């Protein structure tokens, strides 16, 4: 049941990412700055299309990496993983929910990256400093999410050891 919420969050985050990327891409100048000096002069810039295709490539690669494991568990392709987390096991539901929600958080982080690039290139419209909370919150959330995976796996392995004795 939980994995359905994780799956919904994952697919909703894909829509959020696509909307954010297309919306912010339309508002960006032709040359996108990534590094500025103290006077506001551009130190390093890239073409708008390079940013777009780079972010899309990162999105596809990260989504393949995060969704591969739950898809192999759902389709029973990975027999060892399916044997460890059989159908009906409550930890299977938690693991699937974790993977899909982690993929969702990765997509939301990429959306925030697009927002950040938009904010530093359009300082007259939007200030990058107004989003400092979100920019520091996302790595913290991803770190906590990784810790939750280890807690989940620890509980699963502990319940497996208790079942053997």
163, part of any domain: no
75, part of any domain: yes
120, part of any domain: yes
Q: Give the total number of structural domains in the chain.
A: 1
145, part of any domain: yes
Confidence at 13, pLDDT banded by 50, 70, 90? very high
For the residues 90-118, what does the mean pLDDT come to?
Answer: 87
107, part of any domain: yes
Residue 60 has pLDDT above 90, yes or no: yes
Q: How far is 27 from 132, CA to CA, in rounded Å?
A: 21
pLDDT score at 42: 66
Q: Residue holding tokens 């982080």?
A: 109
11, part of any domain: yes
List Cβ<8 Å contacts ≥24 apart for 58-61: 58/110, 59/17, 59/21, 59/107, 59/110
Q: Is 127 left (phi over 0), alpha (psi -120 to 50) or beta?
A: beta
The helix-helix angle for 48-74 and 2-27 (nearest 10°) equals 170
CB 27 within 8 A of CB 120: no
Domain that holds residue 20: 2-156
List, for residues 19-45, the tens digit of each pLDDT value: 988 888 887 777 776 666 677 666 677
For the residues 126-144, what does the mean pLDDT come to?
Answer: 77
pLDDT score at 165: 41
Q: Residue holding tokens 């959330």?
A: 141
Q: What is the pTM of this model?
A: 0.80
90, part of any domain: yes
Q: Over the chain, what HEC string results?
A: CHHHHHHHHHHHHHHHHHHHHHHHHHHCCCEEEEEECCCCCEEEEEEHHHHHHHHHHHHHHHHHHHHHHHHHHHCCCCHHHHHHCCCCCHHHHHHHHHHHHHHHHHHHHHHHHHHHHHHHHCCCCCCHHHHHHHHHHHHHHHHHHHHHHHHHHHHHHHHHHHHHC
111, part of any domain: yes
């Amino acid at each position: 049941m939980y994995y359905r919420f994780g799956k919904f969050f994952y697919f909703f985050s894909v829509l959020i990412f696509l909307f954010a990327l297309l919306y912010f891409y339309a508002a960006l100048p032709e040359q996108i700055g990534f590094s500025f000096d103290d006077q506001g002069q551009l130190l390093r810039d890239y073409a708008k299309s390079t940013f777009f295709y780079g972010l899309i490539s990162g999105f596809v690669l990260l989504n393949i990496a995060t969704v591969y494991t739950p898809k192999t568990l759902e389709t029973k392709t990975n027999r060892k993983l399916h044997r460890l987390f059989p159908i009906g096991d409550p930890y299977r539901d938690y693991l699937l929910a974790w993977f899909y929600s982690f993929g969702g958080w990765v997509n939301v982080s990429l959306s925030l990256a697009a927002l950040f690039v938009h904010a530093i290139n359009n300082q007259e419209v939007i200030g990058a400093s107004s989003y400092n909370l979100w920019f520091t919150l996302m790595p913290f959330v991803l770190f906590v999410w990784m810790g939750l995976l280890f807690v989940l796996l620890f509980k699963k392995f502990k319940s497996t050891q208790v079942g053997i004795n």
